[in-house]
Amino acid sequence: TADLKAEAQRLGFDLVGIAPAAPPPHAAQLESWLEAGYAGEMAYLARNAVRRADPREAVPGARSIIVCGIHYRAAEPDPALWNDPGRGRISRYAWGDDYHDVLLPKLRALQEWLESRVGRARLGRSYVDTGPVLERPVGVMAGLGFQGKNTLLIHPRQGSWFFIGEILVDAELAYDAPQSIGGCGGCTRCLNACPTQAFVGPYVLDARRCISYLTIELKGPIPRELRPLLGNHIYGCDVCQEVCPWNRRWGRFTTHESFQPRPGIVAPELIELMRLTDDEFRARFKGSPIKRAKRRGLLRNVAVALGNWGDPAAIPALVAALNDHEPLIRGHAAWALGRIGGDDSRHALESRRAVEDDAWVLEEIDLALAALTHAAMST
């Protein structure tokens, strides 16, 4: 096990711990969380619920889980850009390369090293949030930290800005003990700071209200009542990590080149993003986690952020988006124009309404026009 950990560090992992392949603490709570509907459209969580609750169901004969972590937090953004409502906020984890492409080859290399040491051709499987593993509870078992009230895995001397991946193996290794220090105590900063109040209570997240879910996992329209709460978040959210005292004091910065910010990624101009074509989107976000949202998802989010910004400078880009080939983008552009207002917005909405054939987009246009009418009568 000592040699294994040394090899993990040689491969570039910042954290490594070993847990027994057994049901993690609180695994039974997954079922009640799913039954409450808190997973939203993430149906894959329910499909693999039994396997998630017991690693031995995922890899028969598994005896140990190797949990590895890599820091991803880069330098702090320029406040002048980060706090500009005309620029989008992107979660720090997506500033660099796709973490799956970085972690998985390292995990497989570590697995191959272990296989060569024990003399077997194959003895397990490697996962980076793509397998049926309750990663954060397993991380707690492996001594990588405690699970905070924001549900994240927090290392008491390194914070929570790290990715984790696992290797399930049928070899018995020396297990690490859970951390004896750490915990949230009476702190509720993350719960109070959440822009959409997504926490039902400590340790319980309603993903349907979480900005990360709404801007990444949700494939359809963002609920209208939540759109104003997103501000200028266009891909993910770090608020519950930013306010965490453990991160403020102990949060580590990454030394890995793969997670350094790509040019123009930290706080991109919203109007510029709103004009991206399909080809431009693919070229700009090749190898980035942002490609997961697809162009229609990202521009949906950008349209909401432009509506929240409320600057008339965004009207031309939103008017152009009213004619986009994606209904998801057209509908959210209509909402944003209704928020910004003005004669140009009204004329564009009326013109699009005359040719629109998507029922949901028509509904968004009508609601936007009604909002404009109401605003005009109020003044």
Catalytic positions, written as ranges: 129
Backbone angles phi, psi at 169, to 5 degrees: -130, 155
E-strand spans in 177-226? 199-201, 204-205
Which contacts qualify for 30-35: CB closer than 8 Å, 24 or more apart?
30/134, 33/204
Cβ atoms of 314 and 243 within 8 Å: the answer is no
Number of H helices, E strands in the chain: 19, 10
E-strand spans in the chain? 15-20, 64-71, 89-90, 124-127, 146-147, 153-154, 162-169, 199-201, 204-205, 233-235
**Residue 43 buriedness (CB in 10 A; 0-12 / 13-18 / 19+):** exposed
d(CA 88, CA 74): 17
CA angle 104, 283, 287 (to 5 degrees): 5
Tokens encoding 54: 């017991």
Q: Which residues of 120-153 are buried (b: 16+ CB within 10 A; e: fewer)?
A: eeebbbbbbeebbbbbbbbbbbbbbbbbbbbbbb
**Residue 344 buriedness (CB in 10 A; 0-12 / 13-18 / 19+):** middle
Could you say which DSSP state residue 332 is in?
Answer: H
- 162-169 vs 233-235, strand pairing mode: unpaired
Amino acid symbol at 98: D
E-strand spans in 76-213? 89-90, 124-127, 146-147, 153-154, 162-169, 199-201, 204-205
CB atoms within 10 A of CB 302: 32
